[in-house]
Amino acid sequence: MTSVTQTKCACQSCLCVVSPSDALQKDGKVYCSKACANGHPEGEGCGHTGCTCNK
């Protein structure tokens, strides 16, 4: 059996790679942060170093 240990955040503009066990899950998708999971409602990025999502 193979298990996924890391996957890209489901936010299209996000560069983050997350472990599904540590990630935020919403609607069957995996996100690195609340900002990404909620679609960046206030224009904020995920805040992770080197990532420029939603900028």
- pLDDT digits (tens), the chain, 55 positions: 667 789 999 999 999 999 989 899 999 999 999 999 999 999 999 999 999 998 7
The structure's pTM equals 0.86
Q: Assess if residue 1 is contained within a domain.
A: no
- Please provide residue 31's backbone torsions phi and psi, each rounded to the nearest 5 degrees: -125, 155
pLDDT of residue 1: 67
Under 8 Å between Cβ of 42 and 23: no
Quote helix, strand, coil % in the chain, to nearest 5. Answer: 5, 20, 75
Instruction: Quote the domain boundaries for residue 28.
Output: 7-37
Q: What is the total count of domains within the chain?
A: 1
Q: Assess if residue 54 is contained within a domain.
A: no
Say if strands 29-31 and 7-8 run parallel, antiparallel, or are unpaired.
unpaired
Q: Assess if residue 22 is contained within a domain.
A: yes
User: Which is nearest to 37 in space by CA: 48, 22, 17, 23?
Assistant: 23
Q: Assess if residue 45 is contained within a domain.
A: no
